[in-house]
Structure 1
Amino acid sequence: MVETTVQLVCPECVKEWQLTPAELPDSTSMFHCPNCHASRRMAEFTRTDRDLRTLKQLG
């Protein structure tokens, strides 16, 4: 079985990574970049609209 992941990118330092929806807070919660510690709503870290939809559906 293939595990679904959400692709993330920091809007400040442009670090890219991916995590499963279960590892992430909901889309309106604050999230902190593990690289530069920028703080924004989780939705702002999703790379694409598809990633945001996945987060909202499975998170």
Structure 2
Amino acid sequence: MDRTTVQLLCPECTKDWQTSPDDLPAAAEMFHCPNCHASRRTAEFMRTDRDLQTLKQLG
């Protein structure tokens, strides 16, 4: 079975990566960029609307 991932993009340092929605806090909770440590709502790190929907459904 394929593991579902979401793509993230830091709005501050533009680091991009992907991870499982299970490894992330809920969309409205605070998340910290592993590169620059910027703190924003997890939803603001989602690269696309589809990634955000996946996070909301599976996270």
- Report TM bin, short chain: over 0.9
1:23, CA displacement in angstroms?
0.3
Residues 1-59 of structure 1, C-alpha deviation per residue, up to 9 Å, x if partnerless?
A: 11100100000000001110110000000000000000000000000000000000000
Number of the residue aligned with 1:19: 19
For 1:41, the equivalent position in structure 2 comes to: 41
TM-score (norm. length: structure 2): 0.98
Contiguous gaps of at least 5 residues in structure 1: none
CA RMSD between the two structures = 0.4
**Aligned residues between the structures:** 59
**How many percent of aligned residue pairs carry the same amino acid?**
73
Structure 2 gap segments, 5+ residues each: none
After TM superposition, what 4+ stretches of structure 1 lie above 3 angstroms from structure 2?
Answer: none
